[in-house]
Amino acid sequence: MKKFKALAIIASFLLVYTGSVSGQEYKLDLSSGKIRINEVHKVTIEGHNENFVLISTTDRGHHNSERARGLRPINSLGLEDNSGIGLAVDKTGNEVEINSVSRHRNSRYTILVPKDVTISYQNSSNHGGPLQIKNVQSELDVTVRFNSVHLENVSGPMTINTVHGKIEAVFSQVSQKSPISLVSAHGLIDVALPADTKAKLRLSSDHGEIFSDMKIEYEKSGGLHKISSSHVNGSLNGGGIDIRLSSNHGNIYLRTKK
C-alpha cells in the first residue's frame, strides 16, 4: 500500500511536470531581420528552416509559487512577462528583442531562430550559464561576462566575447562574407575548422600558448615573417576571410574538424 502511494505521487508529479512543459512555449512569426536576447541566463539557440521564432523552457516559473498565482513578474526596467514564460518579448518591425524579467531563473531556454535572422545575445550578470548555439549560418554577436560559449555547426560571420568563460566552436564551413572574431580575457578558445577552410588568421594569447594541427602559412610582410610566441598571423589555404582568436590568459587551440 505504501509502495502504491509513492508511485502515485511520482506519477502525479510527472503529470504536472510534463503538462507544464508543454505549456511553456512562446512563438512569434519572423522570417528575416534581427533577434536580440538580453540577460537571459541559460540559453540554447538553434537555427531552423521555419518562418517563426519558438522559445521553450522547462521552467515552471511563477506558476511554481502559490503566492504568485495570478500575478506576473515585473521589473525595474518596466519589463513585463508578456510571454507567460518569464520573458519580455518585443517585436518592432522585423526586430525582436527578448529580455529576462525575473532575475534568478535557473532553467534553460531553447530558442529556435529562422535561418536568415541575425542573432545578438548579451549577458552582463555573473549568473550566466553556458550559452549553446547550434546550426546557425546567419551573423552572430555575443557579449557576455561569465558565460562560456559553445558553438556547433556554425559558419560565421560572428563576433563573440566573454570575460571569464571559454569559447568552443565547431565550424561546418567558414563564410567568406565578413570576419570572425572570438575573444576571451580568461577562458581558452578551442576552434575546429574544416581542413579546406580559406582564411586569414590572427591568433594571440598574451599569457597562454597557441596550439594547432592546421597547415598555417605564416604571414610575410615585405618579405618578412611576422610571428612571435604570443601572436601568430598567417593564412589557411591561401587566405580568405579574417579569423581572429584571442585570449589574454587562456590558451588558443585551432584544430582540423574531423
Partner 1 sequence: MDLYSDEEIMVKVKNDQLALMKPLFDRYHVKLYNFFLRLTFNEDVSKDLVQNVFYRIIKYRKSYNPEYKFKSWIYQLARNNFADHLKKNKVMFSDFQEVNSLTVETETALESLELKEKKQALYEAMAQLPEDKREILVMSRFQGLKYEEISKILDCSVGAVKVKVHRAINQLKEVYFKNN
Partner 2 sequence: MDTSDLTTMLIDYIDGKLDRDQTVIISKKIEEDAEVAKEYHRLKEVMGIMQSRLVQQPDKSLEAGFMSMLEDEIIELDHTLEDLEKSIHNKKSRIIGLNISGPWQIAASVILVMIGAVIGMYVIKSGHKEEISSLKKEIDATKAVVIRSLEDQSSASQRIMGVNAAFELSEADDEIIAVLVSTMNKDNNINVRLAAIEALYRFSNEPAVKDAFIKALTTEKEPVIQMTLINILVNLKENRAINNMQKIIDDVETIKSVKDEAQLGIFKLS
**Minimum distance, C-beta of residue 229 to partner 2, in the bound complex (Å):** 13
Q: Could you tell me which stretch among 49-57, 64-72, 176-184, 212-220 binds partner 2 (CB under 8 A)?
A: 176-184
Does residue 206 belong to the site contacting partner 2 (CB under 8 A)?
yes
> Can you tell me the distance from the alpha carbon of 3 to that of 1, in angstroms, rounded to the nearest whole number?
5
> Can you tell me the distance from the alpha carbon of 240 to that of 218, in angstroms, rounded to the nearest whole number?
14
**Minimum distance, C-beta of residue 204 to partner 1, in the bound complex (Å):** 14
Q: Which three cell numbers stand for residue 155?
A: 559558419
131 close to 149: Cβ distance less than 8 angstroms: yes
Binder of partner 1 out of 78, 93, 223, 238 (CB under 8 A): 223
**Minimum distance, C-beta of residue 219 to partner 1, in the bound complex (Å):** 11
Pairing of the two strands 52-57 and 109-114: antiparallel
Does residue 206 belong to the site contacting partner 1 (CB under 8 A)?
no
Does residue 93 belong to the site contacting partner 1 (CB under 8 A)?
no
Does residue 183 belong to the site contacting partner 2 (CB under 8 A)?
yes
Does residue 217 belong to the site contacting partner 1 (CB under 8 A)?
no
- Pick one of partner 1, partner 2, none as the site partner of residue 185 (Cβ within 5 to 8 A by kind): partner 2
Does residue 134 belong to the site contacting partner 2 (CB under 8 A)?
no
Does residue 139 belong to the site contacting partner 2 (CB under 8 A)?
yes
- Pick one of partner 1, partner 2, none as the site partner of residue 248 (Cβ within 5 to 8 A by kind): partner 2
CA-nearest of 102, 120, 96, 95 to 41 is 102
Phi, psi of 154 (to 5 degrees): -120, 170
**Minimum distance, C-beta of residue 28 to partner 1, in the bound complex (Å):** 54
How far, in Å, are 41, 54, 85, 140, 156 from residue 170 at the CA level?
22, 24, 31, 14, 11
Residue 117: Cβ-neighbour burial (10 angstroms; 0-12, 13-18, 19+): buried
135 close to 171: Cβ distance less than 8 angstroms: no
Angle subtended at Cα 174 by Cα 170 and Cα 180, rounded to the nearest 5 degrees: 85
Binder of partner 2 out of 20, 134, 163, 256 (CB under 8 A): 163
**Sites of contact with partner 2 (CB under 8 A):** 34, 118, 139, 141, 143, 156-161, 163, 177-181, 183-186, 202, 206, 242, 244, 246, 248-249
Q: Which residues bind partner 1 (CB under 8 A)?
A: 222-228
